[in-house]
Amino acid sequence: MKSFIGIALILIAGLAVSIWIGFHTKMAEGTLPFDDDQKGIQDQVVIKFSHVVAENTPKGLAAQRFAKRVNEKSNGQIKIEVIPNGGLYSDQEELEALQRGDVQMIAPATTKLSSFSPKWQVLDLPYAMPTSESIIKALNGDIGNTLLQSLEKKQIKGLALWINGFKQITTNDGPIVHPDHLKRQNLRIMPSKVLQKQFDLVGAKAVGLDFNDTYRLLESKELNGEENTISNIYSKKFFDVQSHLTISNHGFLGYAVIMNEEFWNNLTKQQQRIITEAMNEATRLNQRQSFAMNEEQLDLIEKNSSIHIHYLTEKEKREWAKRWEPVYRAFKSDIGEDLLSKMIQLRDSYKDF
Ligand code: LMR
């Protein structure tokens, strides 16, 4: 009798162990135990993230970090396919592609969002954010929030604001030291009324053109200059086809990381949480490394090219800022008095020249 009970106990224990092993093997194979939070994660979600710059740029690196973290956090259930260098769409096409839902995520320069809401022009005002701290403060504070919220009416989900850095001026007809040196220069700018006005005020002929056409137009001398960050000047080799570079730090270039809103709304709460967390990490990294990256690449340009570099002195910067002051008045009603005065207050508290 005793041995019968013994055998029965061994059999019951064996059964319990195999059920336990089976359950855990399934988990290890990736089948998650049921829990409301996990609903919908069984099917892989693919998010195409298209942008126009190179991978070795602040935007390129932040996009890669974001993709990696989403992949890790979702155990591969959400895949972010990053397509750099305008491989899918040019900067002029990508906004419409996002609205159609042909691509799910993009990170255009904030300048390019002024067609959605003229408020975005506040970030383009010359010398509005004179230091890196002032840029971070504007993007992380009220100014950034107001701008991201303005997208809601356009069926776009604003996820974050990323930094590239300060814009500089390159030309084949330099040096550019005083604003008058830009007179009659034929420059590529991002399509923007503020930037147009800025260069009209100094008598330059500025044209809004696609970013990825710039190198060719500079090389063929159809254009003789452009304004951009060191990171874009370096990664797209503009310095190879330009004779002069002026470190003016006269404007800001950064990005709105945005998603098609309908696509966002169809994600589960858990998928949205993963994307938000990964985006916050990528944004923190972007804010830590973008300025240093621009500085390192300026060093590389200085060491490895024959371009002449002029750093504007404080006195020269004051001269440029004064020439461009009328831009603020011209865009007061477009930007809105409240937002403009927040920006002017920020500018004046950080102005270092
Ligand atoms: C430009 O058009 O110059 C920039 O928007 C490119 C970029 O995305 O940095």
Instruction: Judge if the beta carbon of residue 232 lies within 6 A of ligand 1.
Output: yes
Q: Hey, which of 49, 51, 52 would you mutate to test ligand 1's pocket, going by the most ligand atoms within 8 Å of its Cβ?
A: 52
Give the tens place of pLDDT for each residue, 112-128.
999 889 999 999 999 99
Instruction: Judge if the beta carbon of residue 238 lies within 6 A of ligand 1.
Output: no
Instruction: Judge if the beta carbon of residue 211 lies within 6 A of ligand 1.
Output: yes
CB atoms inside a 10 Å sphere around CB 212: 15
Q: What is the pLDDT of residue 305?
A: 96
Q: Which residues contact 172 (CB under 8 A, 6 or more apart)?
A: 218, 221, 224, 225, 241, 242, 243, 244
123, 331 contact by CB (below 8 A): no
Q: Is the pLDDT of residue 67 over 80?
A: yes
Whole-angstrom distance, CA of residue 215 vs CA of residue 53:
13
What is the mean pLDDT of the segment spanning 276-305?
A: 97
What is the mean pLDDT of the segment spanning 39-56?
A: 85
Give the tens place of pLDDT for each residue, 331-348.
999 999 999 999 999 999
Q: What is the CATH number of domain 43-350?
A: 3.40.190.170
Number of H helices, E strands in the chain: 13, 9
Instruction: Judge if the beta carbon of residue 190 lies within 6 A of ligand 1.
Output: yes
Q: Is the pLDDT of residue 176 over 70?
A: yes
What is the mean pLDDT of the segment spanning 227-235?
A: 98
DSSP code, position 313: P
Q: Is the pLDDT of residue 30 over 70?
A: no
Q: Hey, where are the domains in the chain?
A: 43-350
Which residue's C-alpha comes closest to atom 2 of ligand 1? Answer: 211
Task: Please identify which residue in the block is written with the tokens 């002026």.
Answer: 246
Instruction: Judge if the beta carbon of residue 198 lies within 6 A of ligand 1.
Output: no
**C-alpha 196: how far from chain center:** 22
Q: Among 292, 282, 224, 217, which Cα is nearest to 255's?
A: 282
More confident residue, 29 or 315: 315
Average per-residue pLDDT for the chain: 91
Cα of 109 to ligand 1 centre, how many Å?
6
